[in-house]
Amino acid sequence: MTGVACCIINTNHYYLDYCPMNASALDDIVEFLVLGGPVVWILVAFSHAVLAIAMGKLWQFARRGMFGTSGPQRVTLALGQYRQAGTGAAIAALESERSPAGTILRQALLHLQQGKLGEQRLQDELSRLAQAQLNELRRFLRPLDVMANAATLLGLFGTVLGMITAFRELQSAGSQVDPALLSGGIWVALLTTAVGLAVAIPATILYNWLDGIVEGCAARMQDSVAQLFTLEAERRSADVVAFGAPQAVKAHAASA
pLDDT exceeds 60 at position 91: yes
Question: Considering the chain, what is the average pLDDT of its residues?
Answer: 80
Task: Answer yes or no: are the C-beta atoms of 45 and 30 closer than 8 Å.
Answer: no
The reported pLDDT for the residue numbered 53 is 96
Residue 175 DSSP code: T
pLDDT for residue 217: 94
Cα 24 to Cα 60: distance, rounded to the nearest angstrom: 38
pLDDT tens figures, 148-206: 999 999 999 988 888 888 778 777 766 666 666 666 678 778 888 999 999 999 999 99
Residue 23 has pLDDT above 90, yes or no: no
Which pLDDT score, from 0 to 100, does residue 3 have?
42
31-58: per-residue pLDDT in tens?
666 777 788 899 999 999 999 999 999 9
The tally of CA atoms less than 13 A away on the side-chain side of residue 78 is 30
Q: What pLDDT is attached to residue 5?
A: 39
How high is the pLDDT of residue 4?
41
What sign does the dihedral 65-70-76-80 (CA atoms) show? negative
For the chain, report the end-to-end CA distance as a whole number of angstroms.
113
Taking residue 149's Cβ as centre, other Cβ atoms within 10 Å add up to 13
Q: Give mean pLDDT, residues 88-92.
A: 89
